[in-house]
Structures are given as structure tokens and as C-alpha cells.
Amino acid sequence: MSFSSSVTMVTGGTGQLGRVVVRRFAEAGSQVVVPYRTPGKWEELQAELGPLASRVDGLHADLIDEATVQRAVAQALARHGRIDHFLCLAGGFAGGRFLETGIDLWEQMLALNLRPTLLALHAVLPHLVERGSGRVVTVGARQAVEPSAGAPAYAASKAAVIVLTQ
């Protein structure tokens, strides 16, 4: 599969995994769109990319807000005409045994892991279906299929991402 001249949108592109993915797509010739929440992390990514930064377009967006996600996808389409590859890497981790954590931790894990993927797919899939092409990648976690007692909220939120993707 060639990525040259393609348009790739990567949520979570300023995170640890996302930085590697953004770099690889840019090196392969793709124009990469990165929605970001924290301006400082976006600036770090730009500096880290060096000359490749010209292939990466940032959009300030809060991925747990539906209107912002819709707007980010619309802006990417307006700027680049299409999205060929959509990677949902945004997420977070918090551990804690079931009886030691409250509902707030469960809500936080769902908000950080499931909600951005759900909102992003709602925003981008109509475009991909209309075009009749495109690729979507979501990221689960090993704990979603082999959960441990130390992070059930995280495991459940990542399992939900896997089920949504299937």
C-alpha cells in the first residue's frame, strides 16, 4: 500500500505512540492531519519532526467534545479534499482495583478511550462511505482481552473500543 500523496488523520498524534505514527506516515509521503488539545505538545511534535513538519497539519480540538471533533474532520476535508487513512490513537490510562476506585475513574476511562474513538468514527465514516474507500485503524489494548485486577476500568474502556471497531 502506498501512502505517497495520501491524507492521513491521526488522533492522539502528539502522544508517545502517535508521534511515531505521524513521523512514519510523513516519511512515507502522506500529508498528516493531527488534531491536538495541548498547544505545547503540538509545538514539541513540530520541533521533533524538523523538515517533516511541513507535511503535518495541526488542528486544535478537544476529542471528547462532539462539535469540536465534527469541526476538525470538516476542516481537514476542507484543507485537503479527502481523508484516506484515519487512525484513532487518542486515549489514556489510570489503574486501580475495582473496590478501590470510584465511578469517576470509570467515567474518565470511558471519556478518554471510548468517547474520542466513537466521536471520530461518527465524524469521518460518512466521508469514507461516500468516497467508497479509506482505511480506519483503532487501538485497543492487551488488557481488553486479558484483563488484570489492577485496571478494570481501563480494560473495559479498551474492550469497548474493540467491540465498536468490530
Task: Name residue 58's beta-bridge partners.
Answer: 34
How many Å apart are CA 92 and CA 94, to the nearest integer?
Answer: 7
In a domain, 16, yes or no: yes
C-beta neighbour count of 32 within 10 angstroms? 28
The torsion region of residue 97 among left (phi > 0), alpha (psi -120 to 50) and beta comes to beta
Query: Containing domain of residue 56, as a range?
Result: 7-165
Provide the number of structural domains found in the chain.
1
How many Å apart are CA 164 and CA 22, to the nearest integer?
Answer: 24
Q: Tens of pLDDT along 30-62?
A: 999 999 999 999 999 999 999 999 999 999 999
* pLDDT exceeds cutoff 90 at 116: yes
CB under 8 A, 24+ apart: contacts of 126-131: 127/73, 127/77, 127/82, 127/83, 128/83, 128/86, 131/82
pTM of the entire predicted model: 0.92
pLDDT at 1: 65
In a domain, 2, yes or no: no
In a domain, 1, yes or no: no
In a domain, 101, yes or no: yes
CATH assignment of the domain containing 124 = 3.40.50.720
In a domain, 59, yes or no: yes
In this structure, are residues 83 and 73 in contact, taking their beta carbons and an 8 Å threshold?
A: yes
Give the residue-averaged pLDDT of 130-155: 90
How many Å apart are CA 100 and CA 81, to the nearest integer?
Answer: 48
